Structure 1
């Protein structure tokens, strides 16, 4: 596997004149770190989690050793988060080399797990599900509203997670855990600690500042944090593939001059004009632990942003010229309030956790065609109440985890036009019906049995969930909705069954099968959406779709040879039944309609496909000497679906082969790392013709393969002060990640100064 990864990198990285200099620079940095550290004992911090004794929370909702869990789970530690030093949480997931991330604009990141994206991947934050009634099937940016600088850890569960988490967890679950206050271990003593940093990135002139402080007594504790980031327009790379010398260049843009929308030449076409934005995040936690048996946690999180330009749409062309004068998301607001009670019990159950949560989310979209004075304004407000009650029972070699999950979603959608000169407003079709509710109630049980020889562990579980959806249309005069009131009450059943076999201490096999389901939400059933300017497709509502279902078997192996080698691999297949895909659709017996004065082909979400996905993931870690580490990963996913007429079509959201390779040296005061990120080709024939693959933002042949070479280092200036520096995309490669309408950063310098007390 290691040889395959090296060959793959060599083939795709296309050596340039930079390589020799970079190799020398990398060697000098690594050698300098080794020499400097000879006076002190090196500290080895392995990549990710290397021990099967590592404790998981995602896979069972209560702490459980990784060795006992059938499904593949990766842990992203706080040390990794600090070291990779990314600008947002989406970039953090991508930095693992095991999660694919799509971007439509700089203020966006949409994780893809095993060929599933957006509403088919469940995001969980401090035990509270983030997916709500309007999570869409295309690409989402909600993950960036999580402040990665306050994360204690991230757990990525691959494959269906519906048994524990219900609807939406088809591809997997990404669970984020934020930091807790630190309590004092001595009565009468208060512990105060904190962290802060400032960071600058040259590619987008990023300026970020963060500070957090924790205050704790023996029973009470509090932690507070604030992060502010300012991102300017991003500069793409200037090293273009020979066949595509103009790919992604931003040659012109629209600017309003003397009351006229004018097409203006971009003086530097590597600058992605109108991609900058600002974001700020605030977190506060209060912890009360009266004794070792109980704890109470109050959690408050606020995230907000400036307007976020939808960069890909600002490139859209109609009749040979740029179409839009404006296209941006309004401030993305996410407010979370939760209370969690943890207790150890003396009755039948041993542990109890209750979490009550409330979320208030606002999203908005604003667009205006060039030379049209009327700006379209669409605003969505989502309020979500959640109640989770989870119990754990241990008896003998058995563990039982059971609980209930109640979700209450209220969605209000409004829309209007605004004349930018006169301020006059007018009617406009809403993205969703004006009033919507989307509620669910689920009950689950997850069981583990550890056989007497400690070599076998059985995992099994089941969940039943009911969903109630109600949408009411108040004004249908400007919409294409074939209903005034829509109700659905689907019931989803899911389960899992698997075995772990550990014949010897450092060898582990796992085999299992899990099912998943996703109930159609407000976005699936009722949305009106202009899918593509280039192909002139309009997505219209379809009230007749049913829940999606998956069955996914998985095989895995974990090998550890002493302290110097670890190898992990998994292979899976997913049967995707009643898959909701966008396909041709008729409205009033017609397969096209006029919308905003333009004729469009109509599409709608439909359960008209049977799909199959398969793939594998492999990772190898080598530790040739103390302090050194070579880590490499590779991921491959394939997927197609069959239409009712028997034709086979590529499934959307399927990334090309991708991965990451790094060489790192760490000591007590110095560390250095050279790493590469790489993606294979996504040929145009493998794009979904009607989905969300965004062929219009690729080349005529598809999305070219790419690789970047990068280097970073950290120096401990003092016990409480450290300096981080990185040079990313050293060859200044111009590239886009598959399905993205936004080019990645070119060569960039990142400098951070961190302090703690």
Structure 2
């Protein structure tokens, strides 16, 4: 993973002469980092037949990463979608695929899925407080052979902190405090961590709180209506807790109990939806809009690790059982030009029980070393969604009918899903360790069972819903060929799939007034992909380089609510269908240099950079695939002393010139500079400072435009990123 950073060392040499003779090697050797996600085993990134990014705690702190957008700020090829008017950050986009086509997991447990319908209901996937994490791993490209459905575009794996991360060098207790400020949204952040440990027992508690306002834009129109380009006013408040209790009967095994929870609340004055003064009379509907959005997630898990099983079928094993609940509630109060008031409530609840087990075994057959991995994943989920509301008419009459809905309604029936997966992988080392072959196979079974209740039945009288049973097989084959101690080639084939979502199988509603109906589709097939990747790596004490190219073909993409004709009653009929085939190909480059390894006079200096380019095509309609981000690059220079350092990072993006429609807005290219510094002023105490968008550039990220924006729109600045901002944090521990 490339973290472009740099430094203006001369300034710091002048300010801090006491450090002038003490330097530290810049952290540019990303390929030495250990990852787990791409192989389900601990392997250095340089030994993986795929592109993997590893972002550790130190990097998150140095780059002042307070949310998931900050996390991938310097990761070309990976971005985060965002709603600029109300709902905030959505989820990750990897190589042109986003939303539920990217698997997000925390400690091996899949995070909640997203769902949106209409303008007042949008459940996102931003359920993680980064302060609870010690590492993030990103696998680019299909990974269904190890992780099953939803890993069609890749995997983002969050790894939370453990007591052992704090209890080092014989310590039996730890206390840490951290305070921060994020200039993007005027956010104040605070964190308290305590840990204890003994011969057998250890534990930790991490508590976090943040509050702030809306994420700023460069828009300067502060009107309280649809012409507004400044960000809508928001008040944000959130908190999280992570607690773990670990019991180690001996040095080779650990039992771990984890309790985790987080809550985020946002209140928004949605001025951008107020149109009472619109020049077109038919568009004058709304005089005011106030929103209250809340999302929560709670997780309880119990797991066991055994490092020395010494069994014929496994040398080590890990297993865990868990329960995870998540809920999104969004309330909208709207004033209308006719004097009426409307109140809407959206609720989306997901409850999942799961069990996982993984076994590892080392075997020698002749001259070939085998590292066998196999295991089981099982998840049982119940999903409930409901929209409710009422309106108070001008004469005081209260009605539950807000056209086209008669509340309460469900847009799909209560759904229960069962996901079962069996996987096996063999990492083979041949030719005296110069060649690694990694075949793998996973078999997944997906079952959907809808349950009708009076809310859905009354809203969709006579509509038959469908159950679903699907089985998918996902093979993969990876190869790493070490040409010598520095150069290696890697290649991989991977098959991906995504099970038909419950809301596409059974999404249903009828609107007689507007003359349309939506019907279920029990014949939906899984979305699938076939992906190839080929690359070359170089790694030495002084430098590293990785250049790769990939090619992914996607079949049977599901288009939600496609118009399919009229029924016998003359209603327009909409139905989700497998119609789209797509192709995405591209290349990625990562490189870094430690100049101190080349010349003593340059000790402490480093350089790194990354570039990602993708080309996406909807092959069904022969138009560009809009979810593909334009070419993006990062480059930086850094300088590190033993106790401090400064980093200067540049991010550059090309204009978005390939879109499916000529009538949509295309953001211009841009270049942005950031300056970051860190200082360890006493052992265990650190200060981090960042100035972002140094030149106060007005620019728009393509991933931040999640709805259609006309080419001639007068409110494009509403979607712009923040101007020059300052962020800082200070942490102390003992």
User: TM-score, normalised on structure 2?
Assistant: 0.85
The answer to whether structure 1 residue 46 and structure 2 residue 27 are counterparts is yes
Task: Specify which of 215, 219, 228 is matched with residue 209 of structure 2.
Answer: 228
For 2:483, what is the secondary structure of its paired residue?
A: strand
- In structure 1, the residue matched to 2:78 is 99
CA deviations 1:168-208 (Å, max 9, x no partner) are 10111111111110289999x86111322111233422111
The answer to whether structure 1 residue 729 and structure 2 residue 690 are counterparts is no
Q: Shift in Å at residue 155 of structure 1? A: 1.0
8 A Cα contact 2:412 2:506, kept in partner = yes
CA distance in 1, matches of 2:93, 2:577: 21
Q: Shift in Å at residue 48 of structure 1? A: 6.4
Q: Shift in Å at residue 332 of structure 1? A: 0.6
Task: Specify which of 383, 388, 396 is matched with residue 411 of structure 1.
Answer: 383
The answer to whether structure 1 residue 516 and structure 2 residue 496 are counterparts is yes
Q: Shift in Å at residue 627 of structure 1? A: 1.7
Mapping of residues 520-599 of structure 1, within 5 Å: 520-527=500-507, 542-560=521-539, 562-582=540-560, 584-586=562-564, 588-589=566-567
CA distance in 2, matches of 1:185, 1:472: 49
Q: Shift in Å at residue 618 of structure 1? A: 0.7
CA distance in 1, matches of 2:17, 2:566: 76
- In structure 2, the residue matched to 1:16 is none
- In structure 2, the residue matched to 1:681 is 655
8 A Cα contact 1:472 1:486, kept in partner = no
CA distance in 2, matches of 1:28, 1:487: 67
The answer to whether structure 1 residue 634 and structure 2 residue 611 are counterparts is yes
For 1:91, what is the secondary structure of its paired residue?
A: helix
CA distance in 2, matches of 1:591, 1:96: 52
CA distance in 2, matches of 1:170, 1:462: 15
- In structure 1, the residue matched to 2:134 is 152
CA distance in 2, matches of 1:746, 1:184: 37
The answer to whether structure 1 residue 438 and structure 2 residue 407 are counterparts is no
For 2:255, what is the secondary structure of its paired residue?
A: strand
- In structure 2, the residue matched to 1:19 is none
The answer to whether structure 1 residue 753 and structure 2 residue 730 are counterparts is yes
> Is there any run of 5+ residues in structure 1 with no aligned partner, and where?
7-22, 238-247, 255-262, 531-535, 594-600, 690-694
The answer to whether structure 1 residue 339 and structure 2 residue 302 are counterparts is yes
8 A Cα contact 1:102 1:737, kept in partner = no
CA distance in 2, matches of 1:717, 1:406: 48
Mapping of residues 231-310 of structure 1, within 5 Å: 231-237=212-218, 250-253=221-224, 270=230, 272-307=231-266, 309=268
8 A Cα contact 1:33 1:665, kept in partner = no
For 2:30, what is the secondary structure of its paired residue?
A: coil
- In structure 1, the residue matched to 2:372 is 400
CA distance in 2, matches of 1:365, 1:233: 17
8 A Cα contact 1:119 1:131, kept in partner = no
The answer to whether structure 1 residue 669 and structure 2 residue 643 are counterparts is yes
8 A Cα contact 1:184 1:191, kept in partner = no
8 A Cα contact 2:209 2:240, kept in partner = yes
- In structure 2, the residue matched to 1:9 is none
Mapping of residues 644-655 of structure 1, within 5 Å: 647-655=621-629
For 1:710, what is the secondary structure of its paired residue?
A: strand
For 1:332, what is the secondary structure of its paired residue?
A: strand
CA distance in 1, matches of 2:626, 2:521: 20
Structure 1 pair 618–746 and aligned structure 2 pair: CA distance change class (3 A)? same
Structure 1 pair 98–578 and aligned structure 2 pair: CA distance change class (3 A)? closer
For 1:504, what is the secondary structure of its paired residue?
A: coil
- In structure 1, the residue matched to 2:160 is 178
Mapping of residues 208-223 of structure 1, within 5 Å: 208-223=189-204
Q: Shift in Å at residue 656 of structure 1? A: 0.9
- In structure 1, the residue matched to 2:711 is none
Q: Shift in Å at residue 538 of structure 1? A: 10
Q: Shift in Å at residue 719 of structure 1? A: 1.9
The answer to whether structure 1 residue 469 and structure 2 residue 448 are counterparts is yes
- In structure 2, the residue matched to 1:455 is 434
For 1:307, what is the secondary structure of its paired residue?
A: strand
CA distance in 2, matches of 1:736, 1:144: 21
Q: Shift in Å at residue 507 of structure 1? A: 0.8
Task: Specify which of 465, 468, 489 is matched with residue 485 of structure 1.
Answer: 465
CA distance in 1, matches of 2:635, 2:569: 48
- In structure 2, the residue matched to 1:376 is 344
Structure 1 pair 203–516 and aligned structure 2 pair: CA distance change class (3 A)? closer
Comparing 131-140 and 29-38, the one that deviates more: 131-140
Structure 1 pair 312–569 and aligned structure 2 pair: CA distance change class (3 A)? farther
Mapping of residues 699-718 of structure 1, within 5 Å: 701-718=665-682
8 A Cα contact 1:591 1:602, kept in partner = no
CA distance in 2, matches of 1:701, 1:184: 49
- In structure 2, the residue matched to 1:75 is 54
8 A Cα contact 2:173 2:196, kept in partner = yes
CA distance in 2, matches of 1:405, 1:31: 54
Structure 1 pair 313–236 and aligned structure 2 pair: CA distance change class (3 A)? closer
- Measured on the aligned residues, the alpha-carbon RMSD in Å equals 3.5
- In structure 2, the residue matched to 1:10 is none
CA deviations 1:618-637 (Å, max 9, x no partner) are 11112223221111111111
Q: Shift in Å at residue 559 of structure 1? A: 0.8
For 2:37, what is the secondary structure of its paired residue?
A: coil
CA distance in 2, matches of 1:90, 1:568: 24
Structure 1 pair 451–704 and aligned structure 2 pair: CA distance change class (3 A)? same
Structure 1 pair 209–636 and aligned structure 2 pair: CA distance change class (3 A)? same
- In structure 2, the residue matched to 1:13 is none
For 1:236, what is the secondary structure of its paired residue?
A: coil
Structure 1 pair 323–664 and aligned structure 2 pair: CA distance change class (3 A)? farther
Tell me how many residue pairs correspond in the alignment.
684
For 1:163, what is the secondary structure of its paired residue?
A: helix
CA deviations 1:631-685 (Å, max 9, x no partner) are 1111111111222xxx4122232111113222111112211011112222113xx
8 A Cα contact 1:183 1:221, kept in partner = no
Task: Specify which of 482, 488, 493 is matched with residue 502 of structure 1.
Answer: 482
CA distance in 2, matches of 1:144, 1:708: 25
CA deviations 1:435-473 (Å, max 9, x no partner) are 210111111101111004211000101111111102234
For 1:61, what is the secondary structure of its paired residue?
A: coil
Q: Shift in Å at residue 274 of structure 1? A: 2.8
- In structure 2, the residue matched to 1:245 is none
CA distance in 2, matches of 1:212, 1:300: 15
The answer to whether structure 1 residue 358 and structure 2 residue 337 are counterparts is no
Task: Specify which of 326, 348, 355 is matched with residue 289 of structure 2.
Answer: 326
For 1:90, what is the secondary structure of its paired residue?
A: helix
CA distance in 2, matches of 1:453, 1:616: 31
CA distance in 1, matches of 2:459, 2:208: 41
Structure 1 pair 554–295 and aligned structure 2 pair: CA distance change class (3 A)? same
CA distance in 2, matches of 1:136, 1:350: 48
For 1:204, what is the secondary structure of its paired residue?
A: coil
Q: Shift in Å at residue 333 of structure 1? A: 0.6
8 A Cα contact 2:392 2:399, kept in partner = no
CA distance in 1, matches of 2:287, 2:71: 32
CA distance in 2, matches of 1:539, 1:739: 29
CA distance in 1, matches of 2:58, 2:45: 19
- In structure 1, the residue matched to 2:709 is none
The answer to whether structure 1 residue 390 and structure 2 residue 358 are counterparts is yes
Structure 1 pair 311–171 and aligned structure 2 pair: CA distance change class (3 A)? farther
